[in-house]
Amino acid sequence: MEQMPDQKRAIYLKTLGKFLVLILFLAGAICLFRFTPAKDLVTPQSLTRILNATGGWAPVIFILLEAAAIALFVPASIPILLGAGLFGASWGFFCGWLGAVGGASIAFFVGRALGREFVASMIGDRLEKYDNAIERNGFTTVLYLRLLNSPFTPLNYGLSLTKVRFWDYFFGTGLGVAVSIFVLTFLGGTLKNVWVSGQWQDLISMEVGFAMAIFVFSFFIPMILKRVRGEAPHLNPN
């Protein structure tokens, strides 16, 4: 019995240490792309040189770079828009979507491995009910948050600290971000073509209007899901 406090203290210190590693990792990632030459890697010029050197492997390399950048806390919109400019609307969407889901998955595993135990040890009875509710309604919760266009990269790590199952997180993310990525890549590809051709009147077209309409419609999807399901899209702790 006398060894129990020491054992609990050791477990607490271990989980706290892992959590501090996560904090240092995120802080280091932010500083890396803000204060070092690494920030130049996520520019159109740098990516164009890298991808031109890889030839036919360019889409695969871009997906890997985007996934790594998102896992290192780079805002997802930056590589997604760069991909649209490099590959056009169709390939830009495909590569941007795969890279975003891949980066979100990496972030989830990093956050789950380093931070979940500490957060779980600090959760009280009231918060535990919500944590359990997230586990039960993981897919719906993740989908709803993604459709609300919540900050993508911080949300990756935030959700990893909850009890949400990975596959609920994976499919909720993949489906939830598809609309916003489509709009970003389509408009990014259109802007690239307009810039190159100089035909600015192409910005006023049915295609651009359609993309913007889909983006606006995405904000109403949670309410539609609420009506279809017949319940409010919030976490019920009971």
CA distance 210 to 213: 5
**pLDDT greater than 50 at residue 20:** yes
Question: What's residue 232's pLDDT?
Answer: 42
**pLDDT greater than 90 at residue 166:** yes
Task: Tell me the pLDDT tens digit for each residue of 118-127.
Answer: 776 666 666 6
Q: What is the dihedral of CA 80, 86, 92, 97, to 10 degrees?
A: -40
CA distance 116 to 158: 10
Residue keyed to tokens 């290192």: 72
**pLDDT greater than 60 at residue 234:** no
For CA atoms 142, 144, 147, 151, give the dihedral sign.
Answer: negative
Is the model more confident about 53 or about 157? Answer: 157
Question: What's residue 43's pLDDT?
Answer: 67
Q: Pick from 104, 237, 232: which is nearest to 174 by CA?
A: 104
**pLDDT greater than 50 at residue 233:** no
CA angle 105, 51, 104 (to 5 degrees): 10
Task: Tell me the pLDDT tens digit for each residue of 190-228.
Answer: 665 555 555 555 556 666 666 667 667 766 766 666 665
**pLDDT greater than 80 at residue 3:** no
CA distance 127 to 237: 9
Q: Quickly list DSSP for 187-205.
A: HHHHHHHHHHH--GGGGSS
CA distance 164 to 185: 29
Task: Report residue 80 as tokens.
Answer: 């997604």
Residue keyed to tokens 């590589």: 79
CA distance 218 to 222: 8
**What's phi and psi for 102, nearest 5 deg?**
-65, -45
**pLDDT greater than 50 at residue 165:** yes
R_g of the chain computed on alpha carbons: 21
Task: Tell me the pLDDT tens digit for each residue of 75-128.
Answer: 888 888 888 878 877 788 899 999 999 999 999 999 898 888 777 666 666 667
Is the model more confident about 131 or about 42? Answer: 131
Name the DSSP letter for residue 231.
Answer: S
Domain ranges of the chain: 3-229
pTM for this prediction: 0.75
Residues 147/226, Cβ–Cβ less than 8 Å:
no
Q: What is the dihedral of CA 62, 66, 68, 74, to 10 degrees?
A: 150
Contacts of 100 (CB under 8 A, 6+ apart): 66, 67, 70, 76, 80, 152, 173, 177, 181
